[in-house]
Chain A
Amino acid sequence: MRQIWTITKRELQSFFDSLMAYIMLIAFLGFTGFFTWLYGSDIFFVKQASLSAFFSIAYWTLFFFIPAMTMRQLAEENRSGTIELLLTKPVSDWQVVLGKFLATLLLIVIALVLTLPYYITVASLGPIDHGAVLTGYLGLILMSAAYISIGIFTSSVSNNQIVSYLLALFIGIFFQIIFSMLSSNFGGFIGEALNFLSVSSHFDSISRGVVDTKDLLFFLSLIFLGLILTEANLAGKRN
């Protein structure tokens, strides 16, 4: 456990040292703030004390930002050879993968915590569905965790950061939108299966305030799958 935390600390430090974290935080707050308060179907336009505008914009912003945070994590270690240093220390591949995963997840959680003032302000404007806000945040965290694990996996595949960024987006876009688009074209079992694979359908149902075990199961298995593939990839490099 201590080992994982050591790796997480270093990764977080590196996010903040490289300004990456600040850029991400400012851009995230800027985007979501702009669309929540000022533009499009913002709060004043819909005239409802609801954070649904915020959740849908955060959903997309995170989709593009997360691969940018994760792309460096293993690709850079592969490129510079520091992965060899790490893996010859008394840490397991799992600890390395989890440490890196937690670091990015923590950064996202920090970003989300910084949006709490939105919630407080909106809550003071009118009656707000507190449960839906809570599950909305939960949905964002689960969805982020899923994309982080995909991002870390694509980062472990390549030693080029751009390649791993694009690969993460490519894989992600299927879950983000393509599966749900396709599912409406297919009926029956295929349609349902595609719908089950779509992150957006699970996110929508969670952010509406309904936390179904089906949704939790989906996110957890996606997270787990990404991490397992990453671990397998690290282990495979030893052969």
Chain B
Amino acid sequence: MDIVVENLTKLYGAQRAVDNISFRVKTGEILGFLGPNGAGKTTTMKAITTYLNPTEGSVSVGNFTIHDNPDEVKRSIGYLPENNPLYSDMMVIDYLKFVAELQGIEPKKIKERIREMIQTTGLDDEKHKKISELSKGYKQRVGLAQALIHDPQVLILDEPTSGLDPNQIVEIRELIKKIGREKTVILSSHILAEVEATCDRILIINKGKIVADGTARELRKKSEGQEILKVKIEDGDKNEVFKAIQTLECVGTVDFIKEEDNAFEVQSKPELTCRKPIFKLCVDKGWTLTEMTPIETKLEDIFRDLTMN
């Protein structure tokens, strides 16, 4: 099921929490929602799940829109809200049963579904515990289990790994990836590594507007522009090497890398590469080239570029 968001605007008083956002997510795609706190990620998700009425614009999930068929939209969505609210006084198994009944699963199939969910999310030893007794990681699994119980076509996960330890994060990511193969998934996060590891596509929003949209690689390419190399050259005088590199035609700027001896950061001029000239230079001068690595622009930098004004 595709999710289509069109010209979505949400006002809180005079503040535009979401400002005329449009995007589309296709079946089988995992979309990462990235943005600083307060950028409008959660608001957009709440609008898709029908929890908030948008001030303007529309959202459709498959053939249903949030205005005309809210119940069908709700039925097609599995939603894990921010902070993972749960009825802490209920037992895990009772809670899942409650959600299954609300989702309108046939009474005969409920047991089967609960068993499956408990297995997928690894809650077998905890199923008879009260939710309040569970650790944060297990609570998160319960949150995921309730979102998945009716086998929804669309999954909306608001910061699914917040507050988990590194092992749990990896587990949850694997789970999302596994589930995400056949479903449409939107997940939000402000952890960049997470979005890069799990998502097929990244949407960066800032101050309610989309500022970037594409795969991690595309985003990098866009912001890269010039090639940056880390070069380490030994057997030569530091300053002499520095000057020699600077005189190369292709080179834009050269910098010493402070922490390491004989290491330089070389930024090429636009559209040019310095790999060959630097290698030749070393051969000519009899220096030893011990390292030459391209420095990738980090997603963090792109993110900062786009969201800091």
Contacts and interface: CB of A to CB of B under 8 A. Distances in A.
Given A82-B87, A85-B99, A87-B51, 16 more contacts: A2-B101, A2-B104, A3-B101, A7-B102, A13-B94, A14-B87, A14-B89, A80-B87, A81-B81, A84-B51, A86-B102, A88-B74, A88-B77, A89-B74, A89-B99, A89-B103
Give the secondary structure class of A's interface. Answer: helix
A16 to B, nearest CB: 11
Interface of B: 46, 49-53, 71-72, 74-75, 77, 79, 81, 83, 85-90, 94, 98-99, 101-104, 146
A6 B85 contact: no
Interface residues of A, number: 24
A82 B102 contact: no
B11 to A, nearest CB: 10
A82 B85 contact: yes
B89 A239 contact: no
Contacts of A2: 101, 104
Contacts of B104: 2-3, 90
A3 B81 CA distance: 21
A85 B81 contact: yes
Contacts of A80: 85-88
A81 B83 contact: yes
A17 to B, nearest CB: 6
Contacts of A85: 79, 81, 85-86, 99, 146
A90 B83 contact: no
Nearest to B87: A82
B304 to A, nearest CB: 31
19 contacts: A2-B101, A13-B90, A13-B94, A80-B85, A80-B86, A80-B87, A80-B88, A82-B87, A84-B51, A85-B85, A88-B49, A89-B74, A89-B99, A89-B102, A90-B72, A90-B75, A90-B102, A91-B102, A238-B51
A6 to B, nearest CB: 4
Q: Counting chain B CB atoms within 10 Å of each CB, which of A9, A13, A80, A85 scores highest?
A: A85
A84 B81 contact: yes
Contact of B103 (A9, A90, A92): A90
A94 B101 CA distance: 17
Interface in A64-92: 80-82, 84-92
Nearest to A82: B85
Contacts of A7: 102
B48 to A, nearest CB: 10
Nearest to A95: B102
A130 interface: no
Contact of B102 (A6, A13, A14, A81): A6
B52 A90 contact: no
Given A18-B89, A85-B85, A239 B98 contact: no
Contacts of B50: 87-88
Nearest to B91: A17
A6 B98 contact: yes
